[in-house]
Amino acid sequence: MKRYSLLLGATALALVPAAAMAERGSSGHLNIIYWQAPSTLNPYLSGGTKEVESSSLILESMARFDETGMMVPWLAESIPTVDNGGVSADLTSITWTIADGVTWSDGSALTSADFVFTWTYCTHPEGGCAQAGYFDGVTSVDAVDARTVRVNFAESTPFPYTAFVGSESPVIQAAQFAECLGARAPECTDANFGPIGTGPFKVDEFRPNDVIELSANPNFRFPDRPYFATVTFKGGGDATSAARSVCETGEFDYAWNLQMDPTILAGMAAQGRCAIEVSFGTSVERIHLNQTNPDPALGDARATVEGGPHPFLTDPIVGQALSMAIDRPLLTEIGYGAGGQPTCNVLPAPALYASTANDACLVQDIPGAIALLDGAGIVDSNGDGIREYNGVPMRVLFQTSTNAVRQDAQALIKQWWEEIGVETELRNIDASVFFGGDPASPDTFQKFYADVEMYTNNFAGVDPQAYMASWLCGDMPRPQSQWQGSNTHRFCDPAYDALVAEMVRTADLNERGRLAREMNDMLVRYSIIPLIHRGGVSARAATLEGHRMSDWDSELWNIMDWRRTQ
Amino acid sequence: MTETADRTEPAPALEAYRPPRNQWWDVWDQFKTHKGALFGLGFFVFTLLFVFVGPLIWTLDAQYIDIRARNAGPSLSHPMGTDQLGRDTMARMMAGGQTSIAVGLTAMALALILGTLVGVLAGYFRRLDGLLMRTTDLFLAMPLLPLLLVTIMLFRDPLRANFGPEGGIFVLIVFMIGVTSWMQTARVVRAEVLALKEREFVLAARSIGTPSHRMITRHLLPNVMSPIMVSATLGIANAIITESALSFLGLGFPSDFPTWGRLLFDATDWLTQNPERVIWPGMAISLTVLSVNYIGDGLRDALDPRIRGR
């Protein structure tokens, strides 16, 4: 009973109205549509939001983040702090205690060995773990006893809530993944497509890049939840048809990431069948400038460090001019409406970490960009309207995922860049492929076989340490890492790596803020061009309640509390 | 045979009163009697003028973004309205039509050459027949769209390097549509050639020692013109539709490069707000395809000497 009341407390707010009458499965069937279809259910093998969020129905971590960015104990009994002794006084270890009676959906008990295994799995030297950033600085994970896990850090770690916190570093079952370590990880299809989890739902059928059928986990630790008996998680299509299916036809109950023209969305919502939810977290739509050379003539060395640096995008002057030519408020107005704000930072929130040093970029300055390039001697020497950089004409291939808003933004940016003498070729790739992480496809955002690419990324949780560690030299996607890695634009600066290392050692919050801002400024000058701070925009059917949209974690983080209005 | 002989009997008597004229005039006379074909021809010519001559008169740039004029309905300054970025729809319809029709004509020409070649060779040379017709069956069994998707992925980069982004995709799409749509022509031509081969005039020509290449160019090809022309017109329609389907799927040409299929695809999101944006390209595609089909229908009647003059 003690466990029950404790965990109940975590989600008490949402529960109060329904606790009296609802029981497991009483709300029937739930239809969710994500217009990017998940290609795997193992979040360690794909950095894509769609994989992380779909797997969050099944896999869970020690704690999750609610809609305010506060940590909620999930598999853990409570959040360890220095005060309650869970975090050691020298900040080098954190001890989690698994809540009593948590079992996997196959009925076996969740033990500390599973956490140790998860750490081994993700940090295996031969494997390319997409979430390795969450285990940065972790020297070992110890099983103190069956229910106690201690995470040890190399140095004092002021924000130790990285490993096993949030939807991106959940625990996986040791028994199921034992044979899947290192380079063999992608080969374990059964496990990757049907992981056994502790979450409210279990996988009945998974068709990659299509649909997931789930049913309530019979061994779930709360006897009355989830309220939905079955879930169909459909992937694919596009944002507009997803919104239509919730707001107009009512085929689906929840549609995620409605990146579409705000005029159209507002028109749909006016019909009253759905509610539009917006929450601002850390998502930033940004343009990455490839720092390596993606020339197809290089063959296998294409877009790798071995292939050499990019002929002109490594020069900060070029990046600055490209950034100055963009009218961010206009992009926001056309594509995002209330769901976005123009930004000049790749790390726009929380406020402590948001830099203000780059705010000049909010105003478009095409004459300034032209003057800047002219001043640097980057001019059009042969009169074809395209500038040459050391004899190389400045032509860029600009790729992004297929989405009407992104294509509009592409067309606008192309026009602005051509005004400053940079020829731009546009390419759009189906989102399921672009974010799919398939090492065999040439069109993934990690392979980056283009000069610039645009997409949105964010981090779950409130501490940017792991996120900022995305751009370490060692995290570049490359053939040796199965093209996994978060440093997609191959940024490499020893000074940046040193700042990351310093942040890992720094406890003082203000000092951490300064470091994060400094790192942000290094990135946005000018290998990343931030465009828009995006709120998550989702639509839920008017009959769906209990939904608390968090942009700090998976949007489906509290799906066990979702239910149908009576 | 006798029927034809009966019907053609009075002809010499008539001809005696008429000055000699080119047989293509007879074809035109017959073609004129087909109302649908005439209308189709008229519309097709109008479309060609619209997309190729139109841009000389309507000089707005199809890619120029005028953000203040976005989502406008038809007006004097933008007769077909503008899209969500303020690009002029009429200019985009013209630019898009150029690509769509060029893809249609070129792919058709390629398919026609291939189909006729295979058909004539298979029909005329018995030894090649089995091999060529089995190859034809093989191609018939291949689904076009998946094949196109794979080739686009495989050959996009080398072609892009050689012909530029739009040129590369153009070559690829034309080539793929061409090599996957010649089979109908080949089958029809082979059947015709097989029948013609046994006719008396062919036997007569052979008996005086006409070599094969002359047989084909002089006696066989002119006689299979009618089915070739018909499959040509059908081929144009087919190629335009395939290109539209690819653009509709968001593949093929870059996203800011207008084709009719791409315009249609972009407009579907705006169906409720600006329905005219779907209507223009949709109507252009269907009417062009329809008109080309009617032309084909009229040509078939006009080119068939047995129907002509009836």
Please answer whether residues A265 and A404 qualify as being in contact, where contact means their C-beta atoms are separated by less than 8 angstroms: no
Q: Is residue A109 part of a domain?
A: no
Q: What's the rounded Cα separation, in Å, for the pair A58 and A104?
A: 10
Residues of B with CB under 8 A from a CB of A: 63-65, 67, 70-71, 84-85, 87, 153, 157-158, 161, 165, 250, 254-256, 266, 268-270, 272-273
Q: Is residue A250 part of a domain?
A: no
Please answer whether residues A408 and A426 qualify as being in contact, where contact means their C-beta atoms are separated by less than 8 angstroms: no
Residue B96 pLDDT greater than 80, yes or no: yes
Which amino acid belongs to residue A482?
A: Q
Residue A47 pLDDT greater than 80, yes or no: no
Please answer whether residues A366 and A325 qualify as being in contact, where contact means their C-beta atoms are separated by less than 8 angstroms: yes
DSSP notation for B125-194: -HHHHHHHHHHHHHHHTS-HHHHHHHHHHHHHHHHHHHH-HHHHHHHHHHHHHHHHS-HHHHHHHHHHHH
Contacts of B266 in chain A (CB under 8 A): 404, 407
Q: What is the pLDDT of residue A396?
A: 93
Q: What is the pLDDT of residue B65?
A: 83
- pLDDT tier for residue A475 given thresholds of 50, 70 and 90: confident
Contacts of A408 in chain B (CB under 8 A): 84-85
Q: What is the pLDDT of residue B250?
A: 58
Q: What is the pLDDT of residue B15?
A: 53
pLDDT digits (tens, 9 = 90+) for A126-168: 877 888 878 888 899 998 898 899 999 888 878 888 889 888 8
Q: What's the rounded Cα separation, in Å, for the pair A31 and B151?
A: 36
Please answer whether residues A57 and A232 qualify as being in contact, where contact means their C-beta atoms are separated by less than 8 angstroms: no
Query: Are B85 and A261 within 8 A, CB to CB?
Result: no
pLDDT digits (tens, 9 = 90+) for A283-300: 899 999 999 999 888 888
Three-state DSSP at A464 gives coil
Number of domains in chain A: 1
Alpha helices in A142-254 (DSSP H): 174-177, 189-193, 239-247
Q: What is the pLDDT of residue A553?
A: 84
Residue of chain A whose Cα is closest to the Cα of B270: A264
- Mean pLDDT lowest among A72-86, A184-198, A402-416, B256-270: B256-270
- Enter the tokens of residue A420: 């400053």
- pLDDT tier for residue B248 given thresholds of 50, 70 and 90: low
Find the CB nearest A411 among B157, B256, B269. B256
The whole-number average pLDDT for the span A465-477 is 88
Residue A477 pLDDT greater than 60, yes or no: yes
Q: Is residue A119 part of a domain?
A: no
Specify the pTM. 0.72
Q: What is the pLDDT of residue A460?
A: 64
% of chain B exceeding 90 in pLDDT:
11
Domain with residue A410: its CATH number is 3.10.105.10
DSSP notation for A427-444: EEE-HHHHTT--TT-TT-
Q: Is residue A500 part of a domain?
A: yes
Query: Are A407 and B269 within 8 A, CB to CB?
Result: no
- pLDDT tier for residue B249 given thresholds of 50, 70 and 90: low
Q: Is residue A552 part of a domain?
A: no
Residue A33 pLDDT greater than 90, yes or no: yes
Q: What is the pLDDT of residue A59?
A: 93
- Mean pLDDT lowest among A265-279, B42-56, B145-159: B145-159
Q: Is residue A433 part of a domain?
A: yes
Q: What is the pLDDT of residue B310?
A: 53
Bigger pLDDT: B283 vs B240: B283
* Structural domain span for residue A419: 283-535
Q: What is the pLDDT of residue A15?
A: 44
E runs forming strands in A334-486: 340-342, 388-389, 392-393, 395-401, 423-429, 452-457
Q: How far is B49 from chain A (nearest CA, A)?
A: 28
Q: Is residue A21 part of a domain?
A: no
Contacts of B165 in chain A (CB under 8 A): 397, 425, 427
Bigger pLDDT: B242 vs A21: B242
- Enter the tokens of residue A12: 């008490």
Q: What is the pLDDT of residue B18?
A: 67
Q: What's the rounded Cα separation, in Å, for the pair A438 and A443?
A: 9
How many helices (H) does chain A have, and how many strands (E)?
Answer: 16, 20
Residue A386 pLDDT greater than 80, yes or no: yes
pLDDT digits (tens, 9 = 90+) for A199-250: 999 999 999 889 999 999 999 989 888 899 999 999 888 888 899 999 999 8
Q: Within the 433-452 window of chain A, which residues sit less than 8 Å (CB to CB) from chain B? A: 441-443, 449
Q: Rounded mean pLDDT of chain A?
A: 87
Contacts of A410 in chain B (CB under 8 A): 255-256
Contacts of B87 in chain A (CB under 8 A): 411
Q: What is the pLDDT of residue A278?
A: 86
Residue A318 pLDDT greater than 90, yes or no: yes
% of chain A exceeding 70 in pLDDT:
96
Which amino acid belongs to residue B102?
A: A
% of chain A exceeding 90 in pLDDT:
39
